[in-house]
């Protein structure tokens, strides 16, 4: 930790040049220094070299942010602003992101190690579409009228915003996860205390100035970068935060659940880890199945909660599928994030690289076959080769545990029943895929897999209008779609007497 002395700094961004970026805390629409004066460092994952130091929010800073959010909720947002007006401001924010898309994508690429074309066409474009979806939904969520009491009484429901929401987002999709949290919360009328990952805080901080420029009132979005053990813990245990939304590991999700329960029993939405199975049946187009599953595991260098990290293939087509998947792995577009041709970049940190390599080493030790990859790539930064591991069984660590890197384990099955059993033999339940051209089989298997999202003859399709979330230990609740805005509302039942008379004594 160093001493915070400024709220902005200069940073050289590939393709953009030297720009001024915020590195302070954003509270009540103002940039401020942390109360304890501390900062933390960020690192370029492609080189391993330092980027910038960012202010580290203490519990005192979180408290300031919560007070700002609470005041805004009661006086400038919440029920005081119409859904149509909230939608207008969300659309205005989306306009500003589109205006600055080149700079935002370059900053995301630099901080998170993403290929610039993927950051532009995936992360920035996805953020804009999420904001616009919820802008359109902001005045379109309704209660019910319940008329079962005769002509003289009626009941109806109101869907009202929960209040002040703590939001803790991960490092693998910093900008998109920001929009997945912010857009439905604002559309519902909630106010926010946002903690970006300490590894990738730069785009969340950049968004703050756009929030202010869009005309979103002071205190509606407050951003407090910091470490999970301090800033995240303070958010999870704060007595005046009404809900926490978190995306990240199962272990951290458990800690947040405990903190929420031990404080004010705040509501939680948790989108946690995954070990998503793909089932490849004999009727599948094997070339397409290999292409989709390769994209599913090598997109974002495998740092994806629903990555296709377990692939089960029917014994009759196993050898051919593995040959095709190997070819896909060996032709990934590996390169520097600033190169438009790059689709496969570095892992986020040295620790993550070493963790992924340790899983590969464990697979070797347990008797698996490293079909391709299995080592570092390059000499600088945090790179791991696209890796395919074959001849696996259910007891291996690479099959049981989430790796969060570009490593997939390929196993074999004999029957449909065995395939489903293998798919469900996990504590996770985030996503899965079925590759088959047998319509009856697709219907049976998609219904039988225990996961919140199932893709059929494709992988990784995500839309702002389609709910996303997990079964089992992959989480609680749903994000995106109308389910996403419901997660930021609470239902109030109103019983209204129109003409009923109360006799006395009753």
Cα(459)–Cα(444) distance, integer angstroms: 19
> Same structural domain for residues 483 and 433?
no
pLDDT in tens, 234-261: 999 999 999 999 999 999 999 999 999 9
Same domain assignment for residues 330 and 374? yes
Q: How many residues does the chain have?
A: 506
Is residue 32 in a domain? no
Q: Look up the pTM and report it.
A: 0.96
Q: Is the pLDDT of residue 382 over 90?
A: yes
CATH number at residue 405: 3.40.309.10
* pLDDT tens digit sequence for 110-135: 999 999 999 999 999 999 999 999 99
The confidence score (pLDDT) of residue 3 equals 67
User: In this structure, is residue 142 part of a structural domain?
Assistant: yes
What pLDDT, on the 0 to 100 scale, is given for residue 141? Answer: 86
Distance in angstroms (rounded) separating the CA atoms of residues 473 and 463: 23
Provide the domain limits for residue 357.
277-456
Q: How many CB atoms lie within 10 A of CB 121?
A: 13
Question: Among residues 198, 271, 402, 479, which one is catalytic?
Answer: 271
Both tokens assigned to 473 = 């230990």
Task: Judge if 190 and 299 occupy the same domain.
Answer: no
- Condensed to tens digits (0 to 9), the pLDDT of residues 59-102 reads 999 999 999 999 999 999 999 999 999 999 999 999 999 999 99
* Sheet containing 431-435: order of strands: 369-372, 387-390, 407-413, 310-314, 277-280, 431-435, 453-456
User: Based on the structure, what is the number of domains in the chain?
Assistant: 2
With 70 as the cut, is the pLDDT of residue 1 above it?
no
Q: Contact at 8 Å (CB) between 485 and 188?
A: yes
271 as an active site residue: the answer is yes
Mean per-residue pLDDT over the chain, rounded: 97
pLDDT at 366: 96
Mean pLDDT of 263-286: 98
229 shares a domain with 97: yes
Residue 143 lies in a domain: yes
On whether residue 222 sits in a domain, the answer given is yes
Q: Are residues 245 and 326 in the same domain?
A: no
Task: Give 143-176 pLDDT, tens digit per residue.
Answer: 999 998 888 999 999 999 999 999 999 999 999 9
């Amino acid at each position: 930790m160093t001493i915070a002395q400024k709220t902005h700094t200069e940073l050289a961004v590939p393709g953009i040049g030297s720009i001024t970026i915020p590195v302070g805390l954003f509270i009540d629409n103002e940039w401020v220094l942390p109360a304890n004066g501390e900062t933390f460092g960020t690192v370029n994952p492609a080189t391993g070299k330092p980027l910038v130091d960012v202010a580290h929010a203490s519990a005192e800073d979180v408290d300031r942010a919560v007070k700002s959010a609470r005041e805004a909720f009661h006086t400038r947002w919440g029920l005081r602003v119409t859904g149509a007006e909230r939608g207008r401001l969300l659309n205005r924010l989306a306009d500003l992101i589109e205006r600055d898309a080149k700079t935002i994508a370059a900053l995301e690429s630099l901080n998170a190690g993403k290929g610039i074309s993927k950051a532009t066409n995936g992360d920035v474009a996805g953020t804009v579409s999420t904001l616009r979806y919820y802008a359109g939904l902001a005045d379109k969520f309704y209660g019910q009228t319940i008329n079962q009491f005769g002509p003289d009484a009626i009941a109806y429901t109101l869907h009202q915003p929960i209040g002040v929401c703590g939001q803790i987002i991960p490092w693998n999709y910093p900008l998109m996860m920001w929009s997945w949290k912010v857009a439905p919360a604002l559309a519902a009328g909630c106010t926010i205390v946002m903690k970006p990952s300490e590894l990738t805080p730069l785009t969340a901080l950049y968004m703050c100035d756009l929030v202010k420029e869009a005309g979103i009132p002071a205190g509606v979005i407050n951003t407090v970068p910091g470490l999970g053990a301090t800033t995240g813990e303070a958010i999870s245990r704060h007595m005046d935060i009404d809900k926490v939304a978190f995306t990240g590991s199962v272990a951290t999700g458990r800690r947040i659940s405990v903190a929420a329960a031990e404080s004010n029993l705040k509501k939680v939405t948790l989108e946690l880890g995954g070990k998503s199975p793909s089932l490849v049946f004999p009727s599948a187009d094997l070339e397409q199945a290999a292409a989709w599953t390769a994209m599913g595991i090598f997109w974002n260098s495998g740092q994806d909660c629903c990555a296709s990290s377990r692939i089960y293939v029917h014994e009759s087509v196993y050898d051919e599928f593995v040959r095709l998947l190997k070819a896909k792995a060996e032709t990934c577009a590996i390169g520097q994030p600033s190169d438009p041709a790059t689709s496969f970049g570095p892992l986020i940190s040295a620790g993550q690289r070493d963790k992924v390599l340790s899983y590969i080493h464990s697979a070797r030790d347990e008797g698996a076959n490293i079909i391709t990859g299995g080592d570092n790539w390059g000499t600088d930064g945090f790179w791991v080769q696209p890796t395919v591991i074959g001849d696996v069984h259910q007891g291996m660590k690479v099959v049981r545990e989430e790796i969060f890197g570009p490593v997939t384990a390929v196993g074999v099955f004999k029957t449909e029943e065995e395939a489903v059993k293998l798919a469900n033999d996990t504590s996770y339940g985030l996503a899965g895929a079925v590759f088959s051209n047998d319509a009856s089989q697709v219907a049976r298997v998609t219904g039988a897999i225990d996961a919140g999202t199932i893709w059929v003859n494709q992988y990784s399709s995500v839309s702002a209008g389609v709910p996303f979330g997990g079964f089992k230990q992959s989480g609680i609740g749903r994000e995106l779609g109308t389910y996403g805005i419901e997660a930021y509302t609470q239902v109030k039942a109103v019983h209204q007497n129109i003409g009923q008379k109360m006799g006395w004594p009753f």
